[in-house]
Chains A and B, each alone.
Chain A
């Protein structure tokens, strides 16, 4: 059972926008803006896409954006590309238990 809840899968067609949600609790996402998002592809190391909820590291395209509402953070991928097909997972600082908790991951399929 993941502390942070993500949908198992999301799909979209090239050019479309998709949103992946990451729902936590009052002790993590609800109280802090420290959610990070990662892209994971087979045979590659995870890539940091978003940190501190909405900030992009240098080099990450602005097609990737983060937002928050209540206890849920979301990652939006705009202008979906075939290259975006991967697993995406979130992580957040937590004030209860382990200081960092993860979501179960979401498989993105580009139709």
Chain B
């Protein structure tokens, strides 16, 4: 069974850095063609793709967050970590990670349940 689960702080102060971890099982990020992405949805807003990391260490980020994002993977621990710097109220959202495969181009076949992050002092 393939599962993903997000973890991290539920409350972050403005200007701080958010670090979220996606822990997964049932697949490996060293498998050819596999990727893990982060998507978020702020209250009342559309889902927003943030970052993507692939089996071959390539990564990509949304240009809308202007160099605030970093994504890394630890293949031995089956984890992907997302960091988002300089958090502000607009970053309050539910953050989800999801798996992609080369055989399902630009789609996600398994998602985590999401973790809610609130930015407030």
Cα distance A31–B119 in the bound complex, in angstroms:
37
Is there an interface contact between B63 and A98, defined as CB atoms closer than 8 Å?
Answer: yes
Cα distance A97–B49 in the bound complex, in angstroms:
11
Q: Sorted from nearest, which 8 A-B pairs have the closest CB atoms?
A: A51-B107, A36-B107, A100-B49, A102-B47, A2-B46, A98-B62, A34-B106, A45-B111
Known: A45-B110, A45-B113. A52 touches B105 (CB 8 A): yes
Is there an interface contact between B107 and A98, defined as CB atoms closer than 8 Å?
Answer: no
Chain B contacts for A36, CB-based, 8 A: 104, 106-108
Cα distance A105–B60 in the bound complex, in angstroms:
25
A18 in the interface (beta carbon within 8 A): no
State the A residues within 8 Å of B (CB).
1-3, 34, 36, 38, 45-46, 48, 51-52, 57, 89, 91-93, 97-105
From the candidates B106, B109, B110, B111, name the one contacting A100 in the complex (CB within 8 A): B106
Known: A52-B107, A98-B49, A99-B106. 5 other contacts (CB 8 A): A48-B104, A48-B108, A57-B109, A91-B49, A98-B62
A54 CB, nearest partner CB in chain B, Å: 12
Chain B contacts for A99, CB-based, 8 A: 49, 52, 60, 106
Chain B contacts for A48, CB-based, 8 A: 104, 107-109
Which residue from chain B places its CB closest to the CB of A46 in the assembled complex?
A: B111
Cα distance A38–B42 in the bound complex, in angstroms:
18
Is there an interface contact between A51 and B46, defined as CB atoms closer than 8 Å?
Answer: no
Cα distance A5–B48 in the bound complex, in angstroms:
14
Chain B contacts for A2, CB-based, 8 A: 46
